Structure 1
Amino acid sequence: MKTYPKITATTSTLSESDLEKFAIEKYGLNETSRCKLFRTGINHTYMISDGAKKFVLRVYFKDWKTELEISEEIRLLDLLNENGINVSHAVPDSDGNYIQKLNAPEGLRHAVLFTFGEGDKIRFLNEETCFTIGSVMAKMHKVTSGESLERLAFDEHSLLHSAYKTSTSIFSDALPEVKYLKQTISRISGSFASRKFLDCPSGIVHLDIWYDNMSIRNDREITLFDFDNCGNGKLILDVAYFCKQLFHIESDKEIYNQKVAAFLDAYRSQRSLSDAELAFLPECGAAIFIYYLGMQASRFDWSNIFMSENYLKMYIGRIRAWLDYHQDKVSNVNVLTRSKAE
């Protein structure tokens, strides 16, 4: 009899029907509930609905997060939910357990069921919504300031050096974009090592707050979700990342400035945001983008469909445009200041 070699898997897409049966049994859901694959990415996301109520089932990539890291994410969601911050939070099963263990072809994978955030994803946000987001983020930071999770610390090493090392496993360090990346990391590292930066308020950060990770209703009701990347770091990181994403979405920079002003005004109405923190906003935004480039490189099983030299040019171009824009703003302010002095 002819035999065939057994090949193991690194990842798999789990059956909708099997997960459907599992969820109905485990969570006591309505028998009419249906499970549909929504997205494959860093993790796999399934939507479960019985027509009246919706849930989100996240199936974690094997070894992507430890059980402790997942439980810490759930602990944060509970903390925020208890303090009136609208978040998509974890749902316990019939036995009170939040984390499920699935025997996938590649090995053990974890899964968590989350509540569904009603509303829309709105790419082009108006000023009123930006104001609301600023208020929500500040309220979240008031809860997480000074707190910590047993998860990754977003510091100079993780945001910059580790990300660079991983990125150069995919891209040659001889490429001009990688050379620019190395120079930028060197410059930002110096700032992050400064006493002014080290003295900035720290706490738990989301690190991925932008339109794609929130549901919006009536411009004023915001539900945050996808805390998969949450960890410990300077609170200004969340502020910077939202501003940087808005920068790339809004091509009219005059309108962008108006939206950022609304966002920051709302944030400051809820929580103090010092000029010292804001001074690091450009570099923090760039650092997070560098971190995510490293993440994409580390998950080539998912990112290979877009990770190319052309993609790198676009991605580094966005970092350069962001930093150049803020450098020009500083230069213009300095010119105006000198003119007034003269």
Structure 2
Amino acid sequence: MNPFPVYDSRLSASHLGTFLQPRYSLDARLQCRILKTGINHSYLLNDGDKKLVFRLYSYNWRTKTEIEEEIRLLKLLNENGVPISYPIADATGSFIQEIMAPEGLRFGVLFSFAEGEKIRSFTDDMHFNIGIAMARFHQVTQNLTLERVTYNVETLLISPLQRAQTFFAAGSETMTFLKTSTHQLVEKLKEINLRDVRTGTVHLDIWFDNMHVTPSGGVTFFDFDFCGNGWQALDLAYFNVQLFNTEFDADEYQRKLQRFLEGYETIVKISEEENRLIPYLAVSLWFYYLGVQCQRFDDWGNLFISEDYFKRFIGLIQKWCTKHELFA
């Protein structure tokens, strides 16, 4: 009897550890356990002397070329002293493992473990250090182009709207809001003065879940799965809006944001045009990740695609737009 086809599988951690141990010349004491699931699966490896993280990309999520470009970026950042979790080659010098899972060929990469821990609420000084780390990343990657997605009006707004249309009725409150807001954002982004906006590589997912902080306040970024090309102010907008969503006290939000920006500008200055653009990019990123949630619906079921979620989703956007006087 042939196995039934699967959409996605979770590989046995113990068997994966056995597979990886000789390839990376790791200690025989190696222990492997699942660390995080989602679009990709991450496994924590511990051989007694060190910790490592193995990311197993979902089937058909990233091409081999896209992963190679992510590795190229991370090697460049590591060589320039940017605090990131970096890729590790196996005993043959290869960075990418190919694993035939039940659903098909999946790729995997081993990464260094980011020292410290995840912290949901950062101190003011930690925000300052995060700003420095992001600016160093942007400084190294300004004008760099990867063979990966370019984040622009099409990828941030038009494509996500098309994906959302497969989930919501044309005349629904949600679709009406998405269509109207997308049209307004498209028009606003057409007004960008490109001479005063830096382009290059962006992370597009820098928030507390993708960084570790040490007791001394050191910051390490990881999970560059969404890295690509675009306006570097996108990363500023994304971090800003994540802070807005997690700091409910308005004064605390403003103070921590200011410290983050002060840290950033010790390395790179933010132009007036970039500052003007950030609130619009933040809403665009909300819509972009809505498109990802629709695209990868089977990874989460209906967790994000629900009436209750969208009431909160729309409420947050409207609160943000009111604060920044957008579309007034």
In which range does the TM-score fall when normalised by the shorter chain? over 0.9
For 1:292, the aligned partner's letter is: Y
Q: How far has the Cα of 1:199 moved from its partner?
A: 4.7
Counterpart for residue 322 of structure 1: 320
Structure 1 residue runs of 5 or longer lacking an equivalent are 332-342
Q: 3-state DSSP class of the match of 1:239?
A: helix
Counterpart for residue 150 of structure 2: 153
Q: How far has the Cα of 1:216 moved from its partner?
A: 0.3
Q: How far has the Cα of 1:317 moved from its partner?
A: 2.1
Q: How far has the Cα of 1:267 moved from its partner?
A: 1.1
With normalisation by structure 2, the TM-score equals: 0.96
For 1:313, the aligned partner's letter is: K
Counterpart for residue 40 of structure 1: 37
Q: 3-state DSSP class of the match of 1:270?
A: coil
Q: Deviations over 1:300-332 (max 9, x none)?
A: 11121403222122222222221221118x99x
Task: Calculate the aligned-residue CA RMSD, in Å.
Answer: 1.6
Q: Deviations over 1:4-40 (max 9, x none)?
A: 5752112111111210101102111101011101121
Counterpart for residue 202 of structure 1: 199
Counterpart for residue 47 of structure 2: 50
- Name the count of aligned residue pairs: 327
8 Å contact 1:91–1:112 — kept in the other structure? yes
Q: How far has the Cα of 1:173 moved from its partner?
A: 3.0
Counterpart for residue 182 of structure 2: 185
Q: 3-state DSSP class of the match of 2:308?
A: helix
Q: How far has the Cα of 1:251 moved from its partner?
A: 0.4
Counterpart for residue 77 of structure 1: 74
Give distance in 1, aligned partners of 2:225 and 2:241.
20
8 Å contact 1:128–1:262 — kept in the other structure? yes
Q: Give the alignment of 1:140-289 within 5 angstroms.
A: 140-197=137-194, 199-289=196-286
Q: Give the alignment of 1:90-169 within 5 angstroms.
A: 90-169=87-166
Q: For structure 1, which segment, 303-312 or 185-194, has the greater mean C-alpha deviation from structure 2 after superposition? A: 303-312
Counterpart for residue 335 of structure 1: none
Give distance in 2, aligned partners of 1:51 and 1:320.
50
8 Å contact 1:129–1:219 — kept in the other structure? no
Q: For structure 1, which segment, 319-328 or 199-208, has the greater mean C-alpha deviation from structure 2 after superposition? A: 319-328
8 Å contact 2:202–2:231 — kept in the other structure? yes
Q: Deviations over 1:236-263 (max 9, x none)?
A: 0000100100001000111111111111
Percent identity over the alignment? 40
Distance 1:240 1:195, change over 3 A: closer
Q: Deviations over 1:199-228 (max 9, x none)?
A: 511000000001110000135310000000
For 1:175, the aligned partner's letter is: S
Give distance in 1, aligned partners of 2:195 and 2:189.
7
8 Å contact 2:168–2:174 — kept in the other structure? no
For 2:86, the aligned partner's letter is: H
For 1:142, the aligned partner's letter is: Q
For 1:135, the aligned partner's letter is: I
Q: Deviations over 1:272-302 (max 9, x none)?
A: 2111110011111111111111001101111
Counterpart for residue 310 of structure 1: 308
Q: For structure 1, which segment, 97-106 or 303-312, has the greater mean C-alpha deviation from structure 2 after superposition? A: 303-312
Counterpart for residue 5 of structure 2: 8
8 Å contact 1:205–1:230 — kept in the other structure? yes
8 Å contact 2:196–2:271 — kept in the other structure? no
Q: Is residue 2:58 matched to residue 1:61?
A: yes
8 Å contact 2:196–2:274 — kept in the other structure? no
> Which protein shows a greater Rg?
1
For 2:225, the aligned partner's letter is: D
8 Å contact 1:103–1:109 — kept in the other structure? yes
Q: Deviations over 1:138-192 (max 9, x none)?
A: 1111101111100000000000010111122122232212211211111111121
